[in-house]
Amino acid sequence: MKKIVLLSAVMVALVSCNASRDNKVKPADENATKETKALLAILKENLNRGIMFGHQDDLSYGRAWDYPNGESDVKRVCSDYPAITGIDMGHLELDSLRNLDSVPFKYEIEIAKKVHAYGGLITVSWHQNNPLTGGTAWDVTSDKVVESILPGGSQNEKYKQWLDKVAVFMSSLTDENGKPIPVLFRPYHEHTGSWFWWGQKLCTTQQFIDMWRFTFDYLTKTKNIHNLLFAYSASGDFKNAAEYLERYPGNNYVDIIGFDYYQNSIADKDKTISELNTKLSLLETIGREHNKIPALTEVGFESIPDPTWWTGTIWPAIKDHKISWFLVWRNAHYRIDHFYAPYPGQKSEKDFIDFYNLPGSLFRNDLGLNKGK
């Protein structure tokens, strides 16, 4: 168990009540469920309490293990779960039984339910295949893909069927009373880079915005999915607010604003701290102006070769900013060096525990939402 519990269940209930009265924290989806509205209010409230730690595929697999129920590399190290767990829907569109990283979808649904039951939050990304070429999300051989999925485009019907599957998936994430679990949905991420088919050089600004709005409207209005908060998540290469906002679909379509940023070498430590500080300041300003919640939607240093990365790099880079969370990427089961959270024996393990013990780093036990302790 950790330090002080910052947000008690009673406070959460109060925050939820206030949420319905506070115009400033309404979800973009005006028919969002009560729980989804409450989650947005909690995210806002938590900006004054600390920064939540998130980990992609935390319960799906980790260092030398696959899918055992409740296992987590993060928990193995600090005896607590991340505040946020990420899952990915890539290959759901293909009717595959497993996602692109070979996690069975059946298990992803169980994970989301389990995370919710223990008081954590869920974020969902989607590395969906290229609907025009049939290649992967990284197939950037055509700049006609986004155009093709818009209404009137050759792949629009097919893409609507893909979104139908997303709707089924999202509505299958339910709590013990059958109510939909609120989800932080992060589609079309890193769109300011050009490595995914929805990226900067692969479509026009208007096409990107139309695709986002089409997706939002189709899921919320046609399919009546109301448990989503929408996260607009650029890549970390933007230099100013104008660049960041160039493809922003508008305040009525977004709840969370974020970006993804990775450190690639130990020599980049100072650069990482300074660039993240600068970009997060920009993000906070944009968040205030648009009344959106800022978050560092992906960050990390593959293999964590720096033994003090947690307290020496990432914390100094983020601690002075009012951001909701930061999420490190997955501890891949089939790629030995592809991990971003520590595991027992990993060289940053001790430093991660120091980071865990900082009052401002929020894990599951700090949220006060957990029923399963």
> Which residue, among 265, 264, 113, 244, has the nearest Cα to 190 in the 3D structure?
244
Binding residues for ligand BMA, rule: CB under 6 A, are 88, 100-101, 127, 329-330, 338
Minimum CB distance to ligand BMA smaller for 28 or for 332: 332
Least spacing, CB of residue 350 vs ligand BMA, in Å? 26
User: Which letter does DSSP use for residue 351 in this model?
Assistant: H
Least spacing, CB of residue 221 vs ligand BMA, in Å? 29
How far from 75 is each of 69, 80, 81, 173, CA to CA, in Å?
13, 5, 5, 23
C-beta of residue 113 within 8 angstroms of C-beta of residue 175? yes
Minimum CB distance to ligand BMA smaller for 292 or for 330: 330
Least spacing, CB of residue 88 vs ligand BMA, in Å? 5
Least spacing, CB of residue 338 vs ligand BMA, in Å? 6
Minimum CB distance to ligand BMA smaller for 76 or for 98: 98
Minimum CB distance to ligand BMA smaller for 65 or for 262: 262
Least spacing, CB of residue 127 vs ligand BMA, in Å? 5
Least spacing, CB of residue 64 vs ligand BMA, in Å? 17
C-beta of residue 347 within 8 angstroms of C-beta of residue 73? no
Minimum CB distance to ligand BMA smaller for 202 or for 327: 327
Amino acid letter for position 143:
D
Minimum CB distance to ligand BMA smaller for 134 or for 178: 134
Question: Crossing angle, helix 34-46 and helix 9-21, to 10 degrees?
Answer: 110
Question: How is residue 155 written in tokens?
Answer: 């792949």
Question: How is residue 59 written in tokens?
Answer: 């319960």
- Residues 341, 344, 346, 350: is their CA dihedral positive or negative? positive
How far from 167 is each of 40, 89, 215, 243, 269, CA to CA, in Å?
20, 11, 11, 31, 41
